[in-house]
Homo-oligomer: A and B are copies of this chain.
Amino acid sequence: MKKIINSVESLLEESLTGFSKAHGDIVAFNRQPHFIYRIKESNSAKVALVSGGGSGHEPLHTGLVGQGMLDAACPGQIFTSPTPDQMMAAADKVNQGEGVLFIVKNYAGDVMNFEIAAEMLDCEHATVLIDDDVSLPKDHSTGRRGVAGTLIVEKIVGAAAEAGASLLECKALGDRVNAATASMGVALSSCTVPALGQPTFDIGDNEIEMGVGIHGERGREPMDLSSASEMVSHLTKAIDEELKPQAGQQVLLHINGFGATPLMELYLMYELASEFWQEKGVVISRSLVGNYTTSLDMAGASITLTLLDEELITLWDSPVHTANLRWGC
């Protein structure tokens, strides 16, 4: 295993220390228990947004804490759920009396731990569950996984909260954006979790994993290595079948790298995916291309589509000031 680390045990804490120093104008790091929180409060009390999950997907979620987005993020160990004490401490820290909204990716450990935390919280709270990965069928036993669409929910609900939406409004909006969002990814390589020291799954030199999860979970099917056009066609068709955008529909198109795929390849995917939907008359109003929901050093990428309306566009465009997503301020 080749990594820039000192030890498996110290990596997360040392990295979070560096993160909070590099962005000391935006966030602070609570060490016991671990969470990252926003230091500049909004002008008036607002609903507090708290997310989290296993580490290794950076900038999700820690890099998305700040004005117009999350109030706190609870990082677990790599690919491991954070614990309820982290979520409770984070919620206590950022609660301003308007309630706490948890944004949770649909994985058994995350769901269970956020539920335990929610039950023990004194304050008003609600949870938005993200399950945008269409590589699994809708009726899969544990439901669909939450992947790169999470960022879109966090951005849009974050803007609404900043603008004074109530807890119930934020919860309804989050559910609505999640339902309007679909994602699917393809891996060209596995990732290597430091604590394991070897690739999470085997993949042949001429093989790709279509429908891979963001922890390297096997996807729909291993396939032969094919052209970018064929890979993108698989992904866009699956997403299109789910959301069925009509001609004239405005959408946000997000190409998300898993960590080891050059921007040049991501922009090629953007071009191919945008051609697919433009031919159907779908209007790509907003775009996001880059490494946002990563899987450590996995090569590959996912495509996410969100159906937009004027309200969602306004919220997407609203100012955001986090370590890794910033515009309008």
Interface residues, chain A, CB within 8 Å of chain B?
A: 2-7, 11-12, 14-19, 21-23, 55-56, 58-59, 63, 78, 186, 188-189, 205, 208, 225, 227-229, 231, 259-272, 274, 284, 287, 289-291, 294, 296-297, 299-301, 324, 326-329
Contact = CB atoms under 8 A, between A and B. Distances in A.
B56 A15 contact: no
B265 A5 contact: yes
A287 B11 contact: no
Contacts of A291: 263, 291
Given A58-B264, A63-B263, 13 more contacts: A2-B189, A2-B205, A2-B299, A3-B188, A4-B186, A4-B268, A15-B265, A16-B267, A19-B289, A22-B267, A261-B297, A263-B324, A264-B296
A229 B6 CA distance: 7
A115 B55 CA distance: 48
B4 A271 contact: no
A228 B268 contact: no
A31 to B, nearest CB: 13
Contact of A22 (B6, B17, B228, B270): B270
A274 B329 CA distance: 27
Contacts of A294: 262-263
B326 A264 contact: no
Nearest to A268: B15
Task: Give the secondary structure class of A's interface.
Answer: mixed
Given A15-B264, A16-B267, A21-B274, A6 B225 contact: no
B267 A15 contact: yes
Q: How many copies does the complex hold?
A: 2
Contacts of A229: 6
A281 B14 CA distance: 21
29 contacts: A2-B208, A2-B225, A3-B188, A3-B265, A4-B261, A4-B269, A5-B227, A5-B228, A5-B265, A6-B227, A7-B227, A14-B271, A18-B267, A18-B270, A18-B272, A18-B274, A19-B270, A21-B274, A21-B287, A22-B270, A56-B262, A56-B264, A58-B263, A259-B262, A263-B294, A263-B324, A290-B324, A291-B291, A326-B327
